[in-house]
């Protein structure tokens, strides 16, 4: 990863734009996100924009467009090749993570495409899994655009506004290590937020007439039928 960071830092503006866009695109389209996360390239683009080496608006447009396009290609690959993509050796070695991604997609549907954007492994595989599951393309595209726009803007701006801190840290840790650390912190914060959202699944419904022994103000958990309460809601599937 450090050689890529050095290559982008030492390249001229046009090669830097091309490398950043290619890494963000390939992360989702070619399943390399868990090896070469495009998040690092996007953060680096923001840092270079803060130092006036690149144009911030162009980095933003490039990263968002590459993210959306990469997801679209990943979706089409999953839709075309189906379950055969699950046999790729890189995915087989990460079977537990792949199973978690499939479970999230089964539970959340289109929202999983949006949430997956903020976790490196999910970002790499979720578009293909959505295509494999034959999610309607219009539904996929809606969440793809939303996730790509918010993620792209967030990571680029994180690098941009951390530009001053980068200059200070780079003197101690070196430019490549500082970029990698900043990208890791951004990814960790995003992953924590997404995991918090995924786990927050306690659902309540308006309280039905309480059976004997139950206080009327207590909420009835969704899907739990109390004895003697024929009107309790059925389990949500």
* Per-residue pLDDT tens digits of the chain, which is 237 residues long: 566 777 777 888 999 999 999 989 988 787 776 666 688 888 889 888 988 889 999 999 999 999 999 999 999 999 999 888 888 877 778 888 889 999 999 998 999 999 888 888 888 899 999 999 999 999 999 999 999 999 999 889 988 887 766 555 555 445 556 555 555 665 565 555 555 655 554 444 344 444 454 444 444 443 434 444 444 444 443
Do residues 182 and 166 lie in contact, with contact meaning Cβ atoms separated by under 8 Å? yes
Q: What is the pLDDT of residue 203?
A: 43
DSSP 8-state assignment for residue 11: S
Which pLDDT score is estimated for 34?
A: 63
Q: Are 39 and 187 in contact (CB under 8 A)?
A: yes
Expressed in angstroms, the distance from the first to the final Cα of the chain is 43
What are the Cα distances from residue 36, in Å, to 22, 54, 91? 11, 22, 15
- Shortest CA distance to 54 belongs to which of 1, 15, 6? 15
State residue 237's pLDDT score: 39
DSSP state of 218: S
Q: What is the DSSP string of 25-46?
A: HHHHHSS-TTTS-HHHHHHHHH
**Nearest in space to 53 (alpha carbons), one of 24, 29, 17, 18:** 17
């Amino acid at each position: 990863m450090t050689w890529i960071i050095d290559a982008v830092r030492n390249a001229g503006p046009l090669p830097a734009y091309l490398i950043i866009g290619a890494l963000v695109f390939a992360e989702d389209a070619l399943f390399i996100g868990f090896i070469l996360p495009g998040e690092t390239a996007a953060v680096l683009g923001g840092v270079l924009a803060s130092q006036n080496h690149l144009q911030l608006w162009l980095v933003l447009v490039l990263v968002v467009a590459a993210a959306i396009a990469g997801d679209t290609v990943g979706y089409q690959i999953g839709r075309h090749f189906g379950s055969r993509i699950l046999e790729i050796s890189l995915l087989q070695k990460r079977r537990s993570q792949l199973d978690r991604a499939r479970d999230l997609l089964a539970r959340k549907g289109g929202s999983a495409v949006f949430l997956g954007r903020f976790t490196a492994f999910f970002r790499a595989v979720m578009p293909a899994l959505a295509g494999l599951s034959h999610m309607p393309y219009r539904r996929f595209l809606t969440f793809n655009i939303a996730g790509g726009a918010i993620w792209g803007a967030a990571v680029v701006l994180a690098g941009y506004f951390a530009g001053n801190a980068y200059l200070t840290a780079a003197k101690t840790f070196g430019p490549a290590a500082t970029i990698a650390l900043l990208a890791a912190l951004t990814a960790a914060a995003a992953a924590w937020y997404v995991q918090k959202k995924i786990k927050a699944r306690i659902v309540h419904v308006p309280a039905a007439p309480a059976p004997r022994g139950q206080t009327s103000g207590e909420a009835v958990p969704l899907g739990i039928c109390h004895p003697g309460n024929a009107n309790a809601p059925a389990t949500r599937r």
